[in-house]
Amino acid sequence: MRPSDSAASLEVGSAQASAAPLKIRQNWAIKFHELDFGPDGMQRIGIGSYGEVFRAKWQGLPVAVKVLISQQLSKDMLDDFYHEVEVMAALRHPNIALWLGACTEPGAFAMVLELYTFSLAHFLHSPDLRSKVTRARVLAIALGVCRGMQYLHTPGAAEPASGQGDKQRASIVHRDLNPNNVLLASDLRPRITDFGLSRLKTGSKLETRDAAGTPQYTAPEVFRGVYTEKADVYSFGVTLWELMTLEKPYSRQGFARVQVVGMCVSEQHFARSHLMPMLPADTPEAVKGAIASCLAQDPLARPSFEDLVATLQMVVAQQKREK
């Protein structure tokens, strides 16, 4: 599939694509022809780190189909795709997007996930939805994101997609946590998605490559090649700031991407944070403290998601009592 030709049909088995399908568990394999894109064909509804997303139906269920932008896969690209399949297949949590299967035929590499209503970014910034964006709802969303991230950062038992039996799932560093990668269904429960840049961490070693996430949400040390779970905490801090202000980071200044990257790399952390929108005066003190600690320049000074879950649970409970 060409990026400029999203609605075109994929040529399954194309000679230009990789020579052989991936070997994944048979019950997770989905044939591309089983996906019903409707009478108008493939209509793109979004784009991820390396794939375009289309609405479809599979066995009568509304689904999102993430198709690789390039179907001419090098070994590295194939490894990245297989990596995301491995990650998604092993995850089961109420705040993680539900992975249903993968299309692995040459020329039609895609992943199939449950379809959700819209992204958190759309929810926060769409004029049509602004009346639904209340303090109670954004705090509940923030708590759900924290719970999902706590799950990702906690090693646990999971069945690998390769079907080699049970093994300990390593903790996962997402590396691109931001409102575009959090999806909401009609119940507004958040589901974290887009694990194309995520990496597994085993012990003290993080398996990673050079690509970083979205600059506005990326921790300064990431641009220097330092990746730990604390980078996700920083990204959450920016996201929580956005949830409180309903403004995108650096949107008022209109900075170009290269300027944002420059600020991210710079040691002038406080100058960078002062360019963010002002927090509303009625922002709970515990939330202000959580944001400040998440955005600490020193990664070791940032809290864990377990700590953040405890803080936000307290805030949400207090808000309910005050109603």
Residues of the chain with pLDDT below 50 are 1-9, 11-24, 157, 159-165, 200-210, 270-271
Q: Look up residue 10 and give its two tokens.
A: 């994929």
Residue 272 is predicted with a pLDDT of: 58
Q: 118-321 has which fold? A: Transferase(Phosphotransferase); domain 1 (1.10.510)
Asked if 272 and 264 count as a contact pair (C-beta separation under 8 A), the reply is yes
Is residue 66 part of an annotated ligand binding site?
yes
Residue 167 is predicted with a pLDDT of: 57
pLDDT digits (tens, 9 = 90+) for 261-306: 676 666 555 445 666 778 999 999 999 999 999 999 899 999 999 9
Residue 76 is predicted with a pLDDT of: 77
Residue 267 is predicted with a pLDDT of: 55
What pTM value is reported for the model? 0.82
Residue 2 is predicted with a pLDDT of: 32
Asked if 313 and 301 count as a contact pair (C-beta separation under 8 A), the reply is no
Dihedral, CA atoms, 288, 140, 319, 321, nearest 10 degrees?
-150
State in Å, rounded, how far the first CA of the chain is from the last one: 52
pLDDT digits (tens, 9 = 90+) for 181-191: 999 988 999 99
Tell me the C-alpha distance between 174 and 40, whole Å.
34
**Residues with catalytic function:** 176
Domain range list for the chain = 26-114, 118-321
Beta-strand pair 190-192/61-68: unpaired
Asked if 181 and 113 count as a contact pair (C-beta separation under 8 A), the reply is no
Sort residue 13 into left (φ over 0), alpha (ψ -120 to 50) or beta. Answer: left
Architecture of domain 26-114: 2-Layer Sandwich (3.30)
Residue 162 is predicted with a pLDDT of: 46
Asked if 111 and 88 count as a contact pair (C-beta separation under 8 A), the reply is yes
Asked if 52 and 69 count as a contact pair (C-beta separation under 8 A), the reply is yes
Distances (CA, A) of 321 to 270, 284, 318: 35, 14, 5
The closest alpha carbon to 47, from 74, 68, 76, 78, belongs to: 68
